[in-house]
Amino acid sequence: MGNPALPSLIIVIVLAVSFDIVNGFHDSANAIATSISTRVLSPRVAILMAAVCNFFGALISHNVAGTISQGLVHGNVEQYVIISALIGAIAWNLITWRLGLPSSSSHALIGALLGSVLMDTLSAGDVIWSGLLAKVVLPLVLSPVAGFIVAFLFMKLLLWLLASVSRLVVNRWFSKLQIISAAFMALSHGMNDAQKSMGIITLALISGGFLVPPQSGQAAVPVWVILLCAAAMAIGTSMGGSRIIKTVGMKMIKLTTVDGFAAEASAGAVITVMSALGNPLSTTHVITSAIMGVGSAKRFSSVRWSVVRSMVLAWVVTLPISALLGAAMVLLVKAVIRIS
């Protein structure tokens, strides 16, 4: 007889792929908004480049996937709990996309997963609180700060180095360099964001008895899961997200090619380091903070802080609201299971 957990696993995989696709078009602005706003790349070319770089970025590192699958909750999570978490995260992503708010897909998934687990068991012992603090809460606070500081200092350095160079020469060179920085940003996005769904599917494989975690405590992500999630992220990115692209690339600050290069290069560097450490951070938080840092380096008043306030509000409420959505989905899914 077949494994009774197989139908639930299939639902998890379908929802995880759907989350990756939604995550892709929700977060496509992270990599390409600046290059579109500076007119270095057309939207079509920028989105295609981001999709390709996201795919290959997803193949580079799997440390974040290990954190999601075994670093936040214990491995005996029921499949319907994982299903509930994915539904809750997708719902929050769609809500914020509709509002044009660049919220964190990563924290939506993590919040929904925690809310689902806690509502299902009503036991705080099922959450690995030390892992949550070290891998989620601290990076949640520190990564935007790092993005801001690195971008601020990098922009100050560029302004000093280019002070005597004509604007025509600067634009000519940085219109080319910004293509490289945009590709780097997209690559780093794939290194971090595509890992979340890999981790969720791996967690479902462990919970359903389809995968035995090694003694190291970090389950190896199957190759087919890596390729599936990388492809889903690339497909989602190729669909674009014009609402959030406008918010990130146009509403916060008027960007030049130098600004875009500094923001993308700084954010990409921070995300790459955090990904290597296995921290499932918000690439949205990092790139928007980097843009704020670039604007502040030129002139504090150049940043439209009213737009920033609305985005920060979305950042703050993402974890608790997605946790509530995950908890609500558990109750709903349990009711459906009882009826059927």
Centre a 10 Å sphere on the Cβ of residue 123 and count the other Cβ atoms it contains: 9
What digits encode the pLDDT tens for the residues 212-254?
766 555 557 888 999 998 888 888 877 755 444 444 444 455 6
Q: Are 244 and 32 in contact (CB under 8 A)?
A: no
Q: Residue 250: what pLDDT?
A: 47
From CA 225, how far away is CA 49, in angstroms rounded? 23
Answering whether pTM is above 0.75, one says yes
Dist. CA 259–CA 270, nearest whole Å: 17
The angle, 0 to 180 degrees and rounded to 10, between the axes of the packed helices 105-121 and 79-99 is 140
CA pair distance 36, 46, nearest whole angstrom: 7
Whether the pLDDT of residue 273 is over 80: the answer is yes
Helix axes 167-207, 6-37, angle to 10 degrees: 170
Q: What is the pLDDT of residues 43-86, one digit of tens each?
A: 778 778 888 888 898 888 788 888 887 788 876 788 999 999 99
